[in-house]
Structure 1
């Protein structure tokens, strides 16, 4: 094979040119190169070998990707330690700080949302309570109208009949009614008393069933009735049915005494036989029910039961039949019973509603306002007040009731809860003005004042907390003190402010540490004391009237005495008149002159107390 410049022809044709090397080993090297076998990557692959672990290299992108999983935090079964270990296992310092910042933001947002939800729920609850109370009143009115409608229908369904006879005391009552003045309550009560007296005389034992109570009177009395046996429907005895406004009495005949016709007067000519009655049964009207048996009788017994009624009281049932051939007395008794029972139910319902309203009023005012609950006399007056004119109040020329007052109190509560102090203070001032204008209604005036005082005290507590936390800032302190003054807590604002300033002076003075240089220590302590005194007096003059300035001066004098105690204790081991003594005293008096800027001269009062002072 010919050589060209030391390179074989074969290598030249293949395009692989290599420089020639002396010694003629080029061909051997080329052959060795072509004969070399390289191991392929597939030769290293082992199906059973585990995968190569991934490398976790923190970078900027991973830092930005770590975030708080809100859905995971809402899980009630979340394990915080496990969650943080999983999420922050490879986190860097920057990642930890960012994650902590995200958690704080999420916490603050959740707290804000929770507070807003509480305020919204309270507002909605108050609104729903008012709507529910209005709905209850509408339902009570509807129930009353339905009862009246039912009574009217019952009256129309009964036939209009004319009574054929009356008892002796009914006739006497009728004659008395014509002569009496119906508009007179005293005359009406006298009529009722006469009826009961006649009833007691004619019906033996009736007084124990029907004692005299105001308003009790006889509605109707029918004597020609017979009690029937429940098994045989045969008459057992003759009875009289006496219907009162609240009871139904059944009296049986006791004896008959013949009357001498020659001894009868003209007024007694109509009554030939005097019958003595004995009270046998007496039921309250609300415990019984009277039924007409004619519609329920079978065709065979319909004629016999045409004039029969059934009186049911619990599990007991009694059957009575009129002895008259017509059903006039039966219809009259049924109609009168229904009317009287409906009137009694309406009266009892009214009494119950009145009592319920009184109880609810006491519960309403006592549960809403603990301060009102302590005033039992005021609650009793509110419960017993039936005159609506006493509950109405005049607000800007318009008549308002106590519900309006409660609505205003709710507004105050909402503003206090939202910490809208200016709005809350303005509402309290408005309500106090309304209460002052109610000079003719002391009950409502006491109620409003009691409610206002309770809420003003609660609001004052919150403002005092703000005052204590921000007493070093003049503008905030002036605002808080003005609120307290408008609420009527001048003394509390003054005392809270001065106490907070005293705590600040004590705290700052204790932060001055004695490190061996007495002059430097006296400089620090005197500067703290008199600087804070000057600032306190300055803020006090801006917030309170001049008449209260004596309290601030007295407060400053007390702290000046406290500073003199510290000065005397520190200079007790220094010779009086020495350079150190003089320099310390000069520094203290120089700082005391700062108080002169606010009109208080304490320079001559800075001194070292002698023994025994």
Structure 2
């Protein structure tokens, strides 16, 4: 099988496992599409379709045709629960919106693929983190390019750190007045051992303990003096662990199936590591992707008002939930502006979808438009529960192209003046 077009030959790239007893399942019919052969490499997952050779009479001979290839950091493998009609199913979520389902002939092979994919992904992310840490260290001549830990631990940033500690009224408010503390050989050895323990904590996903270890090392390396070469070596090791830890936590934070409590934990850890801005951007970006996935799953079967009702419910519910989760995770009021900006952009995106569906030339039916506008406005009001009121913005965005503002206002006024009987009668109209 020729697959260099999908997976170019690179030093270090190798196959970890092959799985031949899989079939791809159609997302629409839930029936098998074709047999596939899966190749798990150290950095990607290659899907090859099994096809019979036409040039031979031997129908048992098949050839493998490379079909898809995904980087491991772009996909998530979800173990689907067994039911009477489906067993040994795996769902592959491809960032940002694609989904694929595969079925194994036996549970053991599925389990092995899941475990080895997770291990390969973790190792790849760890290697990327180490590479990133090396580039960070090489950029030490530019202080603005350094990550929060290096800035706080660097000798040039020591005075700024002690000033910050004094302003925060820590338990040692006079630390800046003391001369640098001399680190003994045993102290340095203990810090190096701490870096080794961090490797284990990150590998076993003991993130809370890992963050505590980082903070302990940060405190130990504050306002100290020792052999400069050895101190720099220790700082390099600790920065490597910080980047690897932040990668692992961020991966959990952006998981489409993450729960509210886990979001709070991940954000708390990243804030303690000094990655608050990155945590906010990653969380909101992941929620945007989630909204896109959920709205793409809606089926349009010709009933425009029904589709708009479902679209509005899904879109505004997810915006509301995101605001609720964000407020629970990011306590600093200074970070609220980013949430408002994100919510506004999502309302604008919803409005563009609404306009394409409702205001197309062949759909300019007043009854349909009135029903759709009512659904949009009603569901938008749920954002008031989390302190956001985008009613005026939505009304502005849903102005009909080519129709005067006065005519559009008439649509809204007619809605507000409907009796319950009239609304029921209106609901009886089809699309």
**Distance in 1 separating the partners of 2:276 and 2:300:** 40
C-alpha contact 1:468 1:496 (8 A) present in aligned 2: yes
The correspondence for 1:563, drawn from 311, 327, 350, is 350
Inter-CA distance 610–108: structure 2 relative to 1 (3 Å threshold): closer
Residue aligning to 1:160:
none
Residue aligning to 2:327:
541
**Distance in 2 separating the partners of 1:111 and 1:578:** 57
Q: How many residues align?
A: 252
Residue aligning to 2:192:
406
Within-5 A mapping of 1:283-432: 370=134, 374=138, 393-394=182-183, 400-432=186-218
**Distance in 1 separating the partners of 2:354 and 2:139:** 55
Within-5 A mapping of 1:594-605: 594-605=382-393
Residue aligning to 1:529:
315
**Distance in 2 separating the partners of 1:506 and 1:375:** 37
The correspondence for 1:489, drawn from 268, 275, 282, is 275
Inter-CA distance 445–596: structure 2 relative to 1 (3 Å threshold): farther
**Distance in 2 separating the partners of 1:496 and 1:103:** 35
Gaps of 5+ in 2: 1-83, 89-103, 124-129, 142-179, 406-431
Gaps of 5+ in 1: 1-93, 120-365, 378-390
**Distance in 1 separating the partners of 2:381 and 2:114:** 50
Residue aligning to 2:12:
none
**Distance in 1 separating the partners of 2:389 and 2:115:** 54
The correspondence for 1:499, drawn from 275, 285, 288, is 285
Residue aligning to 1:464:
250
C-alpha contact 1:523 1:587 (8 A) present in aligned 2: yes
Residue aligning to 2:340:
553
Q: Is 1:593–2:394 an aligned residue pair? A: no
Inter-CA distance 471–448: structure 2 relative to 1 (3 Å threshold): farther
Inter-CA distance 596–471: structure 2 relative to 1 (3 Å threshold): farther
Residue aligning to 2:4:
none
Residue aligning to 1:213:
none
Higher RCO (Cα < 8 Å, 6 or more apart): 2
Residue aligning to 1:438:
224
Inter-CA distance 437–444: structure 2 relative to 1 (3 Å threshold): farther
State the structure with more CA Rg. 1
**Distance in 2 separating the partners of 1:506 and 1:463:** 23
Inter-CA distance 435–556: structure 2 relative to 1 (3 Å threshold): same
Inter-CA distance 547–106: structure 2 relative to 1 (3 Å threshold): closer
Q: Is 1:511–2:281 an aligned residue pair? A: no
Residue aligning to 1:388:
none
Inter-CA distance 372–480: structure 2 relative to 1 (3 Å threshold): closer
C-alpha contact 1:435 1:448 (8 A) present in aligned 2: no
**Distance in 1 separating the partners of 2:256 and 2:356:** 33
Within-5 A mapping of 1:220-239: none
Deviations 1:139-181 (A, max 9, x none): xxxxxxxxxxxxxxxxxxxxxxxxxxxxxxxxxxxxxxxxxxx
Q: Is 1:103–2:124 an aligned residue pair? A: no
